[in-house]
Structure 1
Amino acid sequence: MSIWWSLHLRREAASVPLARRLLLGTMESAGVDPDISYDLSIALTEACANAVEHGGDDVHDPSCEAYRVTAYLDGDQCRIEVTDFGPGFPAGSVRAPLRQAGEDAEHGRGLCLIRELADHVHIANRPGHGGAVVSFDKILKWKTVPSLLPA
């Protein structure tokens, strides 16, 4: 089975649960194991929250008011990509190992959490356009369906 969708969302907090619900609904319809769906939904929530918070503040550039979420379910793999149109990551910080936030910190855990929940993570700036791209994938497991045949 192959499913993909793409959303162009405003950079506002209300857009984050919308993306998450669409992903969870897609996973449920496809028969993905709920634990895998939950992990991916948390990772997506973190990536979207980062795009909302850090996706740009240029009041003269309308593209900074939005971000894009694309999800691909293809065979046994799900790939999610969140792209914003802001300034991107500071030079050199994308390749450096991201450190865990301090115990009392209110911010700084999102990318580390995505790395823990996904199988592969790619974090980069959009070449030549500005903005950041956070993409991650995970191997899918399927719900176990109880047999209807007598044992």
Structure 2
Amino acid sequence: MSIWWSLHLRREAASVPLARRLLLGTMETAGVDPDISYELSVALTEACANAVEHGGDDGRGGATAAYRVTAYLDGERCRIEVTDAGPGFAHDSAPVRTPVRPARLPHADAEHGRGLCLIEQLTDHVQIGNKPGRGGAVVSFDKILKWKKDSPLVAV
């Protein structure tokens, strides 16, 4: 079984639950274990929240740029990629780095700074980097799927 979808979303907070609900609905329909679905939905929420907060403008002076979410459920793995049009990761000179290990963890009372760490803890593999050319950040992650018993879309 293979399912994929891609969303082009406005950089607004209201877009984050839309992406999360679509992912959860897709995984429920496919018969993915609810715990795995939940972990991936939290990781997606963090990646989308980062794109909304740090995604930059559209390069044409527009205050609300867009970002893209693409999800692939292919066989036993789910891969999710979130890309934006912001300045990218200035601290990262390499196009991709993994695993995500911040130089300094945020203070326990901090309101921000945990998103990439959460994504790393909830998924099996994380890649972050910058889009070539016009810039922008790319956060992708994947996780091996577990299935509910008698899942309707799992090949026997």
Are residue 55 (structure 1) and residue 60 (structure 2) matched? Answer: no
Q: Tell me the TM-score normalised to structure 2 length.
A: 0.87
Aligned length: 146
1:112 maps to 117
RMSD across aligned positions (CA):
2.1
**AA in 2 matched with 1:123:** I
Between the aligned partners of 1:79 and 1:61, the Cα distance in structure 2 is 32
| Cα pair 1:69 1:82 within 8 Å, conserved | yes
Higher Cα Rg, which structure: 1
Residue pairs, 1:93-112, within 5 angstroms: 95=97, 97-98=101-102, 99-112=104-117
Runs of 4+ in 1 over 6 A off after TM superposition: none
Percent of aligned positions that are identical: 77
TM-score by length of 1: 0.89
Q: Cα gap change, 1:64/1:110 in structure 2, threshold over 3 Å: closer, same or farther?
A: same
Aligned with 2:109: secondary structure? coil
Corresponding residue of 1:43: 43
Residues 88-97 or 124-133, more deviating: 88-97
Q: 2-side partners of 1:84 and 1:26: how far apart?
A: 23
Amino acid at match of 1:97: R
Q: Which runs of 5+ in 2 are unaligned?
A: 151-156
Query: How many Å separate the matches in 2 of 1:53 and 1:62?
Result: 15
Identify unmatched segments of 5+ residues in structure 1. 146-151
Change (3 A) 1:39 1:100: same
| 1:5-39 CA-partner distances (Å, limit 9, x unpaired) | 00000000000000000000000000000000000
Distance 1:8 1:63, change over 3 A: farther
